[in-house]
Amino acid sequence: MAAATGARIGVVTFPGTLDDRDAARAVRLAGAEAVALWHADDDLQGVDAVVLPGGFSYGDYLRAGAIARFAPMMDKIVDAAHGGLPVLGICNGFQLLTESHLLPGSMIKNNHLHFICREQVLTVENASTVWTNEYAAGERITIPLKNQDGQYVADERTLDELEGEGRVAFRYEGVNPNGSRRGIAGITNARGNVVGLMPHPEHAVEAGFGPDSEHGAKAGTDGLRFFTSVIASLVHA
């Protein structure tokens, strides 16, 4: 399908990935072409950005993202991210980014030990990354959260650094649903091209199938601007 913007965004599938088709739909709804990337390949097919979607790669049996990080495709993505390629890691994708050391810290089991699925309010704290530039700093958005290992942890020095450098991209608002340190829901690298978060923006892109919002039941589309943000930054680049 030819996309209006001409942007091509890769969505990677690992064994056990669950939200790849959702992420591809979000990319399309935002106006870009979704390019399916397979973990075992090592060709990025010239994509302009990459989404690492949610799921349970390799069952999350060792640690979330721990086995998937060694996929040939991940080698390419890590290299390209160092060169400035926009990369968004959602949930398992965020865990993968920390296992790959593109982002600091790690995720452990939720503090209440249950899987949790809820419509979560977040504050956008950094609206200058390539994935958040269409939000306003301080804006509150509602997107679904669903995970088992979502408690963000890092040592105090790392947390201070993240705060000091404005690299906390999203913070949980109201409820801290999993015990994450300092309520951190998502972070960015210093350059602002690599962003990871636990909640799922790709589940809040289409009225009728998203979270409830002031526009009506299931009407929330607050997640769409992740994808329009990166398209905008690609077009302006």
Partner 1 sequence: MGRVVVDVMPKPEILDPQGKAVVGALPRLGFTQFTSVRQGKRFELEVEGPVTPEILAAAQQAAETLLSNPVIEDVVRVADAS
Partner 2 sequence: MTAPKPTLDTVENAAATPDEEQPFASLGLKPDEYQRIKDILGRRPTAAELAMYSVMWSEHCSYKSSKIHLSKFGAKTTDEMKKHLLVGIGENAGVVEIGDGWAVTFKVESHNHPSFVEPYQGAATGVGGIVRDIISMGARPVAVMDQLRFGDVEHPDTARVVHGVVSGVGGYGNSLGLPNIGGELVFDASYQGNPLVNALCLGVLRHEDIHLANASGVGNKVVLFGARTGGDGIGGASILASETFEDGVPAKRPSVQVGDPFMEKVLIECCLELYAAEVVEGIQDLGAAGISCATSELASNGDGGMHVWLDDVLLRDPTLNAGEILMSESQERMMAVVTPAKLEQFLAITKKWDVETAVIGEVNDSGRLTIDHHGQRIVDVDPRTVAHEGPVYDRPYARPAWQDGLNADTTVAAGLARPATGDELRAAALAVLGSPNHSSKAWVTNQYDRFVQGNTALAQPDDSGVVRVDESTNLGVALSTDANGRYAKLDPRTGAQLALAEAYRNVATTGARPLAITDCLNFGSPEDPDSMWQLVEAIEGLADGCFELGTPVTGGNVSLYNGTGEPGQIDSSIHPTPVVGVLGVIDDVTRATASGWRTEGQTIFLLGTTRAELDGSAWADVVHRHLGGVPPRLDLAAEKALADVLVNASRDELVDAAHDLSEGGLVQALLESCLRYGVGARVSIAGLVERDGVTEFEALFSESVARAVVSVPRGEEQRLVDACVARGVPLLKLGETGAVVGDEPALVVDGLFEVPLAEAREVFEGALPAIFG
Contacts with partner 2 by CB under 8 A lie at: 15-16, 18-19, 21-22, 25, 40, 55-56, 58-61, 114-118, 144, 146, 148, 200, 202-203, 205-209, 212, 216-218
Q: How far is CA 130 from the centre of its chain?
A: 12
134 is catalytic: no
Interaction between residue 70 and partner 1 (CB under 8 A): yes
- 7 neighbors 234 (Cβ within 8 angstroms): yes
> Which residues make Cβ contacts (< 8 Å) with residue 27, sequence separation at least 6?
9, 11, 33, 34, 51, 227
Of the pair 58, 131, the CB lying nearest partner 1 is at 58
Set 33, 125, 134, 202: catalytic member? 202
Interaction between residue 190 and partner 1 (CB under 8 A): no
* Residue count, binding to partner 1 (CB under 8 A): 6
Of the pair 99, 202, the CB lying nearest partner 2 is at 202
CA distances to 51, 141, 186 from 124, in Å: 19, 7, 9
39 is catalytic: no
Shortest Å, Cβ 66 to partner 1: 8
The closest of 19, 156, 159, 175 to 89, measured between CA atoms, is: 19
Distance CA 119, CA 24 (A): 21
CA distances to 5, 27, 37, 131, 237 from 232, in Å: 9, 13, 22, 9, 8
Of the pair 171, 218, the CB lying nearest partner 2 is at 218
99 binds, options partner 2, partner 1, none, Cβ within 5 to 8 A by partner type: none
Of the pair 105, 186, the CB lying nearest partner 2 is at 186
Residues 42-61 close enough to bind partner 1 by CB under 8 A: 58-59, 61
202 is catalytic: yes
Distance CA 23, CA 35 (A): 11
Distance CA 66, CA 43 (A): 21
Set 39, 99, 125, 200: catalytic member? 200
Distance CA 142, CA 212 (A): 8
Set 91, 99, 125, 203: catalytic member? 91
Interaction between residue 62 and partner 1 (CB under 8 A): yes
Shortest Å, Cβ 60 to partner 1: 9
Beta strands, E only, 139-181: 140-147, 151-153, 168-172
Q: Which residues are catalytic?
A: 91, 200, 202
Which residues here bind partner 1, judged by CB under 8 A? 58-59, 61-62, 67, 70
